[in-house]
Amino acid sequence: MNKLFPFVFFLSMAIQVFASIDTIAVDVGISVFKTMPIGVVPFTEPSGTSLDWPDEKPHEVAERDLNLSGRFEIISVPKFDLVKLSRARAKFYVTGKIEKALNNKIKIDCFLYATQSKDLILGESYTVSLMDSRKAVHEFIDKVIYQLWGVHGVASTKLAWVSKIDGVKQIVVADYDGFHRRQLTFDSTISMMPVWSHDNERIIFVSFRNNKPQLYIKDVATGTQKRLFKKFEQTFSPAVNPKTGEILFSAITDGKTDLYVGDPETQKSRRLSFLKSSQTSPSWSPNSSEIIFTSDRGGSPQIYVMNSDGTDMRRMTFMGRYNERASWAPTGDRIVYTSMDDGKMNIYTCAIDGSDIVQLTSNSGNNERPSWSPDGMLIAFSSNRSGSNQIYIMRRDGSNVTRITQGGENTAPTWSWYPIHKQTKHKEGKE
């Protein structure tokens, strides 16, 4: 130990020196999180008839969910295989049974078993149409994650993003895995910057229908919509308060962009920043006591933090000339943001004091607009690494990058919140 100590000391010194100059040492794509091996066995199907699955079979949906969750290493076996599962240290496995039910429906029984004892840890039964089979499996996988990790999974959450349809940017909503995509706006002008209302029932977004950027709120189910904060001519960059549902946004008045916070119901708003510079891209801390945002007061866009009443402003990022669109992790410990270097955009995270910078994407086109999953484990973002802009999901350490859209131009993903009942449970669990 005595011999080792100077070496460790030297190493940590070296890292600090690296951190103070413009070099960021990161292992991109190598996970720093432990994953749990888990077995997946195909669900048994009713013999004699074959079911007409819309896209994937239930065990394929389960595998996709478990993999996307960032928490598991999938051990896929065609049927229960004690040796293979044991060798891979998969202490648990997921399987199920499908039966035909009345009214053209199917009954999906989902099971989580302990590999060695074959004890049933968790069992759920869903009677659904074939079309809703994905939804049933998503729900079960979220229960598995709660059982094994003690936190809610995000398999039942949704994403909204911007998709170019007939050359026009429109808002679309979909399941978090990119399936069940649905177009929300049908305008001849640009729609962009979607975020979810606190109850996940409405989307707040920017529309250019009056030939200038203005915030609207639209009900996902009914399609009814209205303009928000009409006393401003130009409004954008909406961010929803995770506790109250209030909306932080940027508005341009007298040629200057500033931050305001407003209530979407009463339409009342108040100004939060009073600087000579321009402020934009606000984001709330998980307990909504603080706000991070971008200001160009130092001559280039950098990330700042202040109390939610606008006091005690301080700078957070110092490295690089262009740091923008910061978003506070729901776990509270880190922020994710986009940085431009040499004209290319890449995604970074850092601790909330601006230290411990980690680069999550590199050498793969432009990577932009990171959005946290509600459990803080994953980050959705858009990248043009494939030649066109598409939506990807990765773990918060930059590993396990998975593309969830194909074709077209897809940008600016925003993750939904947990369903309301899970929002409370999650907080109780944390405190």
How far is 238 from 248, CA to CA, in rounded Å? 6
Residues in CB range of 266: below 8 A, 6 or more apart: none
Q: Nearest distance from residue 229's CB to other proteins, in Å? A: 15
User: Which of residues 68 and 171 has its CB atom nearest to other proteins in the complex?
Assistant: 171
Q: Nearest distance from residue 247's CB to other proteins, in Å? A: 15
Nearest Cα residue to 142 out of 354, 419, 364, 407: 419
Residues in CB range of 11: below 8 A, 6 or more apart: none
CB distance 168 to 189 below 8 Å = yes
Q: Nearest distance from residue 359's CB to other proteins, in Å? A: 17
**Amino acid symbol at 391:** I
CB distance 380 to 370 below 8 Å = yes
User: Which of residues 134 and 169 has its CB atom nearest to other proteins in the complex?
Assistant: 169
Structural tokens at position 225: 């919509």
| CA angle, residues 107, 102, 122, in degrees to nearest 5 | 20
Q: What is the DSSP string of 332-374?
A: SSEEEEEEEETTEEEEEEEETTS-S-EE---SSS-EEEEEE-T
CB distance 124 to 72 below 8 Å = no
User: Which of residues 150 and 255 has its CB atom nearest to other proteins in the complex?
Assistant: 255
User: Which of residues 178 and 238 has its CB atom nearest to other proteins in the complex?
Assistant: 238
User: Which of residues 217 and 345 has its CB atom nearest to other proteins in the complex?
Assistant: 345
Q: Which residue has the tokens 């979220």?
A: 142
User: Which of residues 170 and 338 has its CB atom nearest to other proteins in the complex?
Assistant: 338
Nearest Cα residue to 69 out of 198, 176, 160: 176
Q: Nearest distance from residue 323's CB to other proteins, in Å? A: 10
The residues that touch other proteins, with contacts defined as CB under 8 A, are: 169, 190, 192-193, 208, 211-213, 234, 236-237, 250, 252, 254-257, 278, 280-281, 294, 296, 300-301, 322, 324-325, 338, 340, 343, 345, 368-369, 412
3-state SS, one letter per residue, for 129-159: CHHHHHHHHHHHHHHHHHHHHCCCCCCCCEE
User: Which of residues 101 and 190 has its CB atom nearest to other proteins in the complex?
Assistant: 190
How far is 144 from 112, CA to CA, in rounded Å? 7
How far is 109 from 127, CA to CA, in rounded Å? 9
Q: Nearest distance from residue 278's CB to other proteins, in Å? A: 4
Q: Nearest distance from residue 340's CB to other proteins, in Å? A: 6
Q: Nearest distance from residue 233's CB to other proteins, in Å? A: 8
User: Which of residues 250 and 317 has its CB atom nearest to other proteins in the complex?
Assistant: 250
Q: Nearest distance from residue 258's CB to other proteins, in Å? A: 10
